[in-house]
Structure 1
Amino acid sequence: MIKTVIFDMDGVIVDTEPVHHYAYQQHFVELNVSVSDDVYATFTGNSTRNVFQKVKELFQLEHEVEELILRKRHLFNEAFDSKPDLYLIDGVEDLIKDLFANGIQLIVASSASKSTINRVFTRFNLHQYFSHIVSGEDFPKSKPHPAIFEHAASLSIHPKENCIIIEDSTNGIIAAKGAGIYCIGYNSENSKNQDLSIADLIINDFNEINAEKVRGLV
């Protein structure tokens, strides 16, 4: 029986990808580098640190990774605070409330920084539902490495066998399966060019699942 649900954030709880995309593109212009759409798509599910490690290597930048992270974070925060049309993914708030009301533990494990996660959770009043927040910035390797999900599962008050993960990215699903945890792949219209095929269950809408159905998985 499932007793803990581990959520990814970007593309699952909220679509901050357009804000991230804007911030990255602004930064790439400042750096005078051209990142193709195909290369950018491979960044999905990666922490900002890992993205800039790749960009630094790819374009042989002299900037320190920390410097790049701070500038992009500044651009993101400016855009986030000024963007009025930022909403939770359709159906996810009802699912979160339903799971919580039925005694299912909720954990978020996102590649986003702690500051970004807290910004989103504060804006949408989500802290009350989640027992733990796990940020990818605390791990040297991003998804598809399973470390973030292994740690999130260790925070569950139940064994790993009683946990599931909800993810929308190729890298996230690979990480979930690498951690040996049942994974629901959410086919988000906001996450392009992602392969969900190795997920244990694929959904197109959060209305397809609820606390009762989640409990019976695995």
Structure 2
Amino acid sequence: MNNVNAVLFDLDGTLIDSEYFYFSNWAPILENDYGLKIDFDEWISNFAGHTLSRNVQMLNNDYKLNVDEEDMWFATRSRYAKANMRNIRLMPHAKEILDAVKDSGKELGLVTSSFQSTVETVLGEHKLLKYFKFFVTRELVEKPKPNPEPYLLAVNKLMIPKEEIVVIEDTSTGCTAAKEAGLYCIAVTKQEVEKKRLTHADQVLNDLAEVKKSLLSMN
């Protein structure tokens, strides 16, 4: 792929190391309130990269629980507040890739299923908000990933041809949204279970250092 003028980044699991944070806050709720014990591998396999609404649906349909979405929203938000999302670390090479992409003159956007408050809290803590031209967050779309709506909204904000845009995602859910929006997608993950689901990605790389190298070759 040549002539790349914009890069759209996912947030959770792509730029920030948030999946264990979410798991560590969901797991006690599931065990204490619903009698369900899950480990981190199961979280990655079944819940990572999805919205709260979809995860509640998964719990009710596949695990045969009776989870109310509003109850789960309040329970998880309460735990997040106590756990302090400011402690979430960046993924390795996250700042490095943002610096490199910005220095190359490409536009940067963030497309996430997280809410704006999460973006501001975590990226604000790491002083990364300034890198992005815009944020497409959960409250801006009716249908989140894997629906293409978030990426189609991002394309409209960029106002450049789709052929000049690259998406960086870490899950099959996000990659599906990007591909259905007609965009080139680089997947980045070391999780073998996720790699098996990413056959529709244009590239599957192990970390952001590899992604940076690939992006900078697209000139």
Q: Which residue of 1 is the match for residue 66 of structure 2? A: 61
Q: Which residue of 2 is the match for residue 198 of structure 1? A: 200
Q: Which residue of 1 is the match for residue 34 of structure 2? A: 32
Q: Which residue of 2 is the match for residue 52 of structure 1? A: 56
CA contact (8 A) 1:45 1:142 kept: no
CA contact (8 A) 1:183 1:199 kept: yes
User: Residue 70 of structure 1 aligns to which amino acid in structure 2?
Assistant: F
Displacement of 1:39 after TM fit? 6.2
Aligned positions of 1:20-169 closer than 5 A: 20-34=22-36, 36=38, 40=43, 41-57=45-61, 59=64, 61=66, 63=68, 65-81=69-85, 83=87, 86-169=88-171
Deviations 1:50-97 (A, max 9, x none): 22243345545263x2232122122123223584xx421111211101
CA contact (8 A) 2:12 2:112 kept: yes
Task: Sort the Cα spacing of 1:73 and 1:201 in 2 relative to 1 into closer, same or farther, 3 A.
Answer: same
Unaligned 5+ segments in structure 1 are none
2:8 maps to 1:3: no
CA contact (8 A) 2:86 2:122 kept: no
CA contact (8 A) 1:185 1:202 kept: yes
User: Residue 166 of structure 2 aligns to which amino acid in structure 1?
Assistant: I
**Aligned pair count?**
212
TM-score (norm 2): 0.84
Structure with more contact order per residue of length (Cα contacts < 8 Å, sep ≥ 6): 1
Task: Sort the Cα spacing of 1:34 and 1:60 in 2 relative to 1 into closer, same or farther, 3 A.
Answer: closer
User: Percent of aligned pairs with the same residue?
Assistant: 25
Deviations 1:104-127 (A, max 9, x none): 111111122222222111111111
Aligned partners of 2:161, 2:92: CA distance in 1, in Å? 30
Task: Sort the Cα spacing of 1:192 and 1:135 in 2 relative to 1 into closer, same or farther, 3 A.
Answer: farther
Structure 1 range deviating more: 31-40 or 149-158 = 31-40
Structure 2 SS opposite 1:11:
coil
TM-score (norm 1): 0.85
Displacement of 1:17 after TM fit? 0.6
Q: Which residue of 2 is the match for residue 214 of structure 1? A: 215
CA contact (8 A) 2:59 2:67 kept: no
CA contact (8 A) 1:49 1:137 kept: no
Unaligned 5+ segments in structure 2 are none
Task: Sort the Cα spacing of 1:101 and 1:82 in 2 relative to 1 into closer, same or farther, 3 A.
Answer: closer
Aligned partners of 2:95, 2:206: CA distance in 1, in Å? 16
Aligned partners of 1:111, 1:145: CA distance in 2, in Å? 11
Aligned partners of 1:55, 1:140: CA distance in 2, in Å? 22
Displacement of 1:136 after TM fit? 2.9
CA contact (8 A) 1:12 1:168 kept: yes
Aligned partners of 1:109, 1:35: CA distance in 2, in Å? 31
Cα RMSD, aligned residues only: 2.5
CA contact (8 A) 1:176 1:183 kept: yes
Structure 1 SS opposite 2:122:
helix
